[in-house]
Amino acid sequence: MRYLYTLLLVATLGITCAAQDIATHTIRWSSDRAFDTSQGEAIEEATTLISYADRLEWRNADGTVRKVYTVISVVQGWDNVSLPGKARYRITAEGFGGVAVFERTTAGIRITLTVAKEAPESFEILVSNYQAL
């Protein structure tokens, strides 16, 4: 019986250590495809989005910053990105408000960035993999 309890404890610790809370961990989200949904155009290039607690940095393949979004607040948290779920943030970019949504479904992980500029801006990033930093 003692062996069973020890085994359950070790298994639980392993699951807990593997869980990454999007609001408290810095995570690099990699993508080969994105869509500029406001323009109806596909973006077929490698990019990464790094989610920090206070900002989101969307980077080109060479590491140069494409866009920076400031996190104003967490509207909906997601405490384990390895499981299906969703996180929603209030963000700003270039002085305009918007929303960022990270979502994992059975179809994969998708990040949607929408900013209410004079000409609204919206991107959907299809995530191929992620890594906690």
Q: Evaluate if residue 26 carries a pLDDT over 80.
A: yes
Q: Evaluate if residue 8 carries a pLDDT over 50.
A: no
Give residue 18's pLDDT. Answer: 53
Q: Evaluate if residue 12 carries a pLDDT over 50.
A: no
Q: How distant, in Å, are the alpha carbons of 4, 24, 38, 65, 91 from that of 132?
A: 31, 10, 30, 19, 21
- Tell me what the mean pLDDT of segment 44-58 comes to: 97
Give residue 21's pLDDT. Answer: 82
| Residue for token pair 């299809």 | 126
Q: How distant, in Å, are the alpha carbons of 1, 89, 112 from that of 101?
A: 45, 6, 5
Q: Evaluate if residue 108 carries a pLDDT over 80.
A: yes
- Tell me what the mean pLDDT of segment 14-29 comes to: 73
Which one is predicted more confidently, 74 or 18?
74
The alpha carbon dihedral of 86, 91, 97, 100 has a sign of negative
Give residue 22's pLDDT. Answer: 81
Backbone φ and ψ for 25, nearest 5 degrees, come out as -115, 145
Give residue 133's pLDDT. Answer: 93
Q: Evaluate if residue 9 carries a pLDDT over 80.
A: no
In the chain the domains, ranked by start, together with CATH numbers, are: 21-132 (2.40.160)
| Residue for token pair 């910053």 | 65
